[in-house]
Amino acid sequence: MPELTSRLFELYGKRWNFYRILDKLADILQKAGKEYQEPDADCDTEWYLSEQQAGYVLYVDLFAENFNGLIKKIPYLQGLGITYVHLMPLFKCPEKESDGGYAVSSYRETDPKLGTISDLKTALKEFHRAGIRVVVDFVFNHTSDEHTWALKAKQGSQFYRNFYFIYKDKSDADDWNRTLREIFPEVRRGSFTYVKEAGGWVWTTFNPFQWDLNYSNPDVFLAMCAEMLSLANLGVDVLRLDALAFIWKKKNTCCENLPEAHTLIQAFQYAARIAAPGLVFKSEAIVHPDEVTRYIGPEECRLSYNPLQMALFWEALAARDTRLLQSSLKKRWAIPGGCAWVNYIRCHDDIGWTFSDEDAGKLGINGYSHRQFLNKFYTDRFDGSFARGVPFQLNPKTGDCRICGTMASLAGLEDAYELHKKQDPRAELYAEMAVKRIIMIYTVLAALPGIPLIYSGDENAMINDYSYQVDKSRKDDSRWVHRIPFNKTAVSDSWLSARQTQITAAIRKIIRCRKTEKLFGHAGIYFHNLQDSHVFGFTRFLDHECIHVVADFSEQNCLYKIGDRTLHLGPYDVITLKESI
C-alpha cells in the first residue's frame, strides 16, 4: 500500500481531493480482493523461468470458433507441449471493425460469438486442469468508441468526456500532433479523428474507433483498475499490457515511454499485488530496445515480448549476417532477476525493425538504409529474396513500413511452392532451405532463456492467406494475411503438405527436447564473441554443466570453434554441445 500510494501521489498528489482517490481505490481493492482465488500455495511463483514452459498465442474464433471449441482443442495443445496460452481479445467489441478485438466495448462481457463469461470461466478452469496457464489482454490505452464511457461522452456527459481527449478546436489537436509519431499512417494522418457525435477531435493513436484514455484524470485510473481486477478474477494468470508505451501523454513530447507511464504501470501492478497477488504482467512494448527493458522488473512487468530478438532473427536471415544479432543480444539480453523474455518469431502483429541505430552504426550499418533493405527483402522487392511478405502501414512521409506474413511465407516456403507450381527445378532446393531455416529458428528460440512463443498455425507452416484483400472490413489491414482460420492450414496439395508435416514434427520434437534439458530453463546465458558472421552462438550454463548452441543463419558451410573442437555447420544447421565445467 505505501508503494501504491506513493505512485498515485506522484501522478495525482496535487489534487485537493487526493484522499478521496485513495478512499475509492481502497473500496475497489477490497471488493475485488474478496473475489480473488489465490493460486495454490505451493505453486512456483517464477514458473515462467522453467524449461517446461512453451507458449502459444491464438484468436479463439480462428482457432476453435468459440470457448466450447477451445476446450475441445486443449488435448491438441497438450500434445504440442504447450503450457502457456495467450487468448487474444475475448471481449465485446464493435461488430464492423474492431482491430481484431483490440477495441474493447466492455471488459465485463465477452464477444457473444465466442460464448458467455461463464463459458470463458469454464475454459479457464479446463486449461488450468490441463496444466496450462492463461494470458489475456488488458487493453488499457484505449476503449472502443462503443464502450459505455465513449457513448456517454458522445451524449455530452462531461464526466465521461474527461475520460478521453476530445477537443472542439482542431488547433488543440494539431498542437499535440506536432510531436507525435504516426502509428497507423495508412488509416489517417496524425493521431486525432474528427467525431461528429462527440462534436470534436478525439485522440485515436491507432484506429479511429479506438479512443485513447486520459489517465491524467484519476477517475480513469480508478475505473480501469476495477476492470483490470475483474479480468484477474476470471482466473487469468497473466495480463498482457497492450500498447503500454502510449498510456501517458504530455504536451511537447512524443507521448511514448514517458516516466509517468512507468509510474502508472507500477500503480496498476501494486494494486494487482494487493487484490490479485498471483497475477503476472507482461509488457507489449514494441519500441526502441532501450525503452523495452525499462518496463521489465518486479515493479512493472515480469514478462515481456522480446521484439529485438524477433526482429534481429529476421534481419540476420535476410542479411546472412549475424553481427547485429550477436552484438545486440550480447549487450541487451540482461533483465532483472525473476523476470523473463517471451521469445517469438511471429505473432498476430506486423514485424517492425526495432533494433538500435547506435548498435548498427558501430558495425558500420546505416539503420535507415538497412531498414529499407529489410522492407524490400521481406516484400519480395529484392533480387534473390526468399520471402513473401506484405507491407503494413507504409508511411508516405518517411518511406518506412512494417512487414506482415506467416513464418512459412516469410521464411521461403511460399516462394518454393510457387516455383513448384510452375514446375521450376529450383523448387526442391528452395523448399529444403526454407524447411531448414524454419527448424533452425525454432530450435534456437527454444534454447534461449524465457518462454518460446508459437503463433497459432505456424506450427503447421501455414502460408499467407490473401483472401482478406477482398473483405471490406479487412482489406486495409494487411495483418490479416497471417490471421488465418486454423482449419485452413490443412492444404490439399501433397507437395506442400509433406513439407508442412515435416516442420510440424520438428517443432513438436524441439519442444520435447527443451523440456528434457534443465539448461534451457533457469540457467544463465552468455553470447559468444563473433567468429563467423554467418553463425550465431551462445552458451547456457548452470552449476557444473553448460550447453553450447551454435546456429548457421545462412546457406554457407561454416566452421566454428568451441575450445579446441571445430564444429562443421551445413546450411541452417544448429549444433548443441553439452559439457561439464
Binding site for ligand GLC (CB under 6 A): 99-100, 102, 139, 206, 242-243, 284, 348-349
Nearer to ligand GLC, 306 or 539 (CB): 306
The identity of residue 565, as a single letter, is: R
256 is known as an active-site residue:
no
SS3 label, residue 341 = strand
**Ramachandran region, residue 37 (left: φ > 0; alpha: ψ -120 to 50; beta: rest):** beta
| Residue 492, C-beta contacts closer than 8 angstroms, at least 6 positions apart | none
The conformation of residue 412, written as its DSSP 8-state character, comes to T
Nearer to ligand GLC, 288 or 348 (CB): 348
Task: Output the nine-digit C-alpha cell for 459.
Answer: 506450427
Residues 300, 281 contacting (CB under 8 angstroms): yes
Cα(160)–Cα(145) distance, integer angstroms:
12
- List 61, 65, 256, 284, catalytic entry: 284
- List 51, 242, 315, 350, catalytic entry: 242
Cα(54)–Cα(82) distance, integer angstroms:
5
126 is known as an active-site residue:
no
Nearer to ligand GLC, 284 or 359 (CB): 284
- Closest distance between ligand GLC and the C-beta of residue 248, in Å? 16
Report DSSP letters for 357-386, one per residue.
HHHHHHTT--HHHHHHHHHHHHTT-STT--
Residues 114, 90 contacting (CB under 8 angstroms): yes
Residues 55, 342 contacting (CB under 8 angstroms): yes
- Closest distance between ligand GLC and the C-beta of residue 162, in Å? 22
Nearer to ligand GLC, 437 or 483 (CB): 483
Nearer to ligand GLC, 270 or 455 (CB): 455
Which helix (DSSP H) or strand (DSSP E) does residue 241 occupy?
A: strand 238-241
- Closest distance between ligand GLC and the C-beta of residue 577, in Å? 37
> Scanning the structure block, which residue is given the C-alpha cell 558501430?
362
- Closest distance between ligand GLC and the C-beta of residue 136, in Å? 13
Nearer to ligand GLC, 59 or 572 (CB): 59
| Residue 148, C-beta contacts closer than 8 angstroms, at least 6 positions apart | 106
Helix, strand, coil percent content, the chain, rounded in steps of 5: 40, 20, 40
Nearer to ligand GLC, 350 or 415 (CB): 350
Among residues 533, 552, 549, the alpha carbon closest in space to that of 541 is found at: 549
- Closest distance between ligand GLC and the C-beta of residue 29, in Å? 27
Report DSSP letters for 498-514, one per residue.
HHHHHHHHHHHHHHHHH
- Closest distance between ligand GLC and the C-beta of residue 533, in Å? 33
- Closest distance between ligand GLC and the C-beta of residue 348, in Å? 6
Task: Output the nine-digit C-alpha cell for 244.
Answer: 503500454
Strands (E) across 123-214 are located at 133-138, 142-144, 166-167, 192-195, 200-203, 210-212
Task: Output the nine-digit C-alpha cell for 385.
Answer: 529474396
Cα(448)–Cα(100) distance, integer angstroms:
30
Residues 48, 278 contacting (CB under 8 angstroms): no
- Closest distance between ligand GLC and the C-beta of residue 416, in Å? 29
Nearer to ligand GLC, 183 or 491 (CB): 183
| Residue 87, C-beta contacts closer than 8 angstroms, at least 6 positions apart | 58, 60, 70, 134, 135, 136
Q: Where are the alpha helices (DSSP H) in 471-580?
A: 494-516
- Closest distance between ligand GLC and the C-beta of residue 101, in Å? 9
Catalytic residues: 242, 284
